[in-house]
């Protein structure tokens, strides 16, 4: 799940730096803002994947920022984790009612915050994954999700449930590069004890049945040093 952009918003610079340092160690790209107005500007300019948002801030409060984001179609689905010193259950309820995806109180354990961020990002990706159309077509590949059927140039292809899920994910995101860890997050989810090598094994199986020449694949491409991608739609 690395390479995701996280915006950390808090008027306490020490907290911003503490969170940023730990997120960067986990492979995230971190953006920083110290008040609500700058947060909104950064979101418009940088389009982060998730926002860690303090509730009590100058200029605009976290509540006002959250409401503003939820009122705009482009940011209505942006994942938000509220971060606040207030532990009153009513504050938590308010944060969730105005659209926050999660809520954590200060003082907090950084590892818990990182775990919450990963969980919210997984849920967000799963929602997008579930929003993929029921029928997908790509260069002779046809996927009928509801019927759990794949054909290649009209010929039926037999896939396991996991191979089907992996192929559906790839076809739904052509041209985008995913690391093994990201594919595990998107396709395997929270399953325990799954090794990154598992991704390579499943991709080899997919190539064996959908590629004319698995050694020189047309669909599932290796991006050296990073991971895999499905061929670009216009490639």
Q: What six digits make up the tokens of 142?
A: 């046809």
Spatial separation of the C-alpha atoms in residues 218 and 216, rounded to whole Å: 7
Average pLDDT over residues 91-104: 72
Find, among 3, 11, 31, the residue nearest to 179 by Cα.
3
| Structure confidence by residue, pLDDT tens digits, 157-200 | 998 888 988 998 888 778 888 888 888 877 887 555 678 788 99
Spatial strand order of the sheet with 80-84 comes to 29-33, 5-9, 50-54, 80-84, 102-105
Q: Domain spanning 133-230 has what CATH number? A: 1.10.10.10
Q: What is the pLDDT of residue 122?
A: 82
Q: Are 139 and 231 in contact (CB under 8 A)?
A: yes
Q: What is the pLDDT of residue 131?
A: 55
Average pLDDT over residues 208-223: 92
- Which whole-number Å values give the CA distances from 37 to 13, 43, 64, 228, in the listed order? 16, 10, 10, 38
Does pTM top 0.85 for this prediction?
Answer: no
Please list, residue by residue across 154-176, b when 16 or more beta carbons sit within 10 angstroms of its beta carbon and e when fewer do.
Answer: eeebebeeebbbbbbbbbbbbee
Residue percentage of the chain with pLDDT more than 70: 87
Domain locations in the chain as residue ranges: 5-129, 133-230
Q: What is the pLDDT of residue 216?
A: 93
Spatial separation of the C-alpha atoms in residues 5 and 23, rounded to whole Å: 10
| Structure confidence by residue, pLDDT tens digits, 121-135 | 887 776 665 556 677
Q: What is the pLDDT of residue 77?
A: 82
Superfamily of structural domain 5-129: Response regulator (3.40.50.2300)
């Amino acid at each position: 799940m690395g390479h995701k952009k996280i915006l950390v918003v808090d008027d306490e610079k020490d907290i911003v730096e503490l969170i940023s340092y730990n997120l960067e160690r986990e492979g995230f790209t971190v953006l920083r803002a110290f008040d609500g107005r700058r947060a909104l500007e950064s979101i418009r300019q940088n389009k982060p994947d998730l926002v860690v948002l303090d509730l009590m801030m100058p200029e605009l409060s976290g509540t006002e920022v959250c409401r503003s984001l939820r009122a705009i179609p482009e940011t209505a689905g942006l994942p938000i984790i509220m971060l606040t010193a207030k532990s009153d259950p009513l504050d938590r309820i308010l944060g969730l009612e105005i659209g926050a995806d999660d809520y954590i109180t200060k003082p907090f354990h950084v590892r818990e915050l990182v775990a919450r961020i990963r969980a919210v990002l997984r849920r967000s990706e799963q929602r997008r994954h579930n929003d993929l159309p029921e029928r997908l077509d790509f260069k002779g590949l046809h996927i009928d999700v509801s019927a759990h059927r794949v054909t290649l140039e009209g010929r039926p292809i037999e896939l396991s449930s996991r191979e089907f899920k992996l192929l559906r994910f790839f076809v739904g995101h052509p041209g985008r590069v995913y690391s093994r860890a990201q594919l595990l997050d998107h396709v395997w989810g929270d399953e325990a004890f799954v090794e990154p090598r598992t991704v390579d094994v499943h991709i080899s199986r997919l190539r064996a049945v959908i590629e004319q020449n698995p050694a020189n694949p047309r669909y599932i491409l290796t991006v050296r040093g990073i991971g895999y991608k499905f061929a670009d739609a216009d490639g």
